[in-house]
Structure 1
Amino acid sequence: MSSPQLPGLSSLPKPLLNSGFRISKDQLTTIVPVAVAAMLGTYLISRYFSTPSGQKSKVNLSLNKDSAKVVHSFDIEDIGSKAVYCRCWRSKKFPYCDGSHSKHNEETGDNVGPLIIKKRDA
């Protein structure tokens, strides 16, 4: 069964299957590196500005990493009149505070401070 011909269509030019769009090797050697650089740049920028979903950042970056859990215990009698303990994990004198939280707070916008334990005046 053949499809019916409409009158006047046979005089219209037939579309070309090959439209003549061609890319030379010189153009290709320019287009490919630019496209790869654009994709890589987009990926790196998106990684820089995005936060990993579901992955939390670590608090302890360097202290006793071979231990499953870092625990310190002190008797209240051994403290003296006052003790200042680190809560930011950045102190070089950990578990005691050395003021490293100030730099940490400036860099991260955090508001962590030390734990201060002192004996009540009688």
Structure 2
Amino acid sequence: MATPFCAAACRLSVSPPNAAPSAPGRARALARRGLVVAVRAEAGVGGINPSIRKEEEKVVDTVLAGELSKPLTPYCRCWRSGTFPLCDGSHVKHNKATGDNVGPLLVKK
């Protein structure tokens, strides 16, 4: 299962559990209603993580909000940032190239 954000931002094919495959537009409509949908990668489409820490089984980062040095810290969700896990604005170029709409996760202190 995935959150509506993941289904829309990862540009994956999504459908409600036990339903026939549906278009990404339907997934966004379900996400707007707050419904969780099952996610599966489309055949022939590469993963969302092309190069970050590929030697690890699963890339997971934890940050305690109290330890942040700035009152607002942007974290990358497009996997394109040169300063990953921090956002460097690379999503702007990614969005223009792909038609995607992904932006950073903003963590407030």
* TM more than 0.5: yes
**2:54 matched residue in structure 1:** 65
How many residue pairs end up in the alignment?
A: 67
Separation in 1, partners of 2:51, 2:61 = 16
Identity %: 49
**1:102 matched residue in structure 2:** 92
Unaligned runs of 5+ in 2: 1-41
**1:85 matched residue in structure 2:** 75
In proportion to residue count, which structure has more helix? 1
Would the aligned equivalents of 2:65 and 2:107 in 1 still touch at CA under 8 Å?
A: no
Amino acid at match of 1:100: S
CA drift at 1:57: 2.6
Unaligned runs of 5+ in 1: 1-52
SS at match of 1:89: coil
- Taking the TM superposition and a 5 Å limit, the aligned residue runs for 1:1-122 are 54-80=43-69, 81-119=71-109
Q: After superposition, give the CA deviation of every residue in 1:21-71 in whole Å (9 maximum; x if it has no partner).
A: xxxxxxxxxxxxxxxxxxxxxxxxxxxxxxxx6343311111100001101
Task: Report the aligned-residue RMSD.
Answer: 1.3
SS at match of 2:83: coil
Would the aligned equivalents of 2:65 and 2:108 in 1 still touch at CA under 8 Å?
A: no
Separation in 2, partners of 1:70, 1:84 = 18
Separation in 2, partners of 1:54, 1:60 = 16
CA drift at 1:118: 1.1
**1:21 matched residue in structure 2:** none
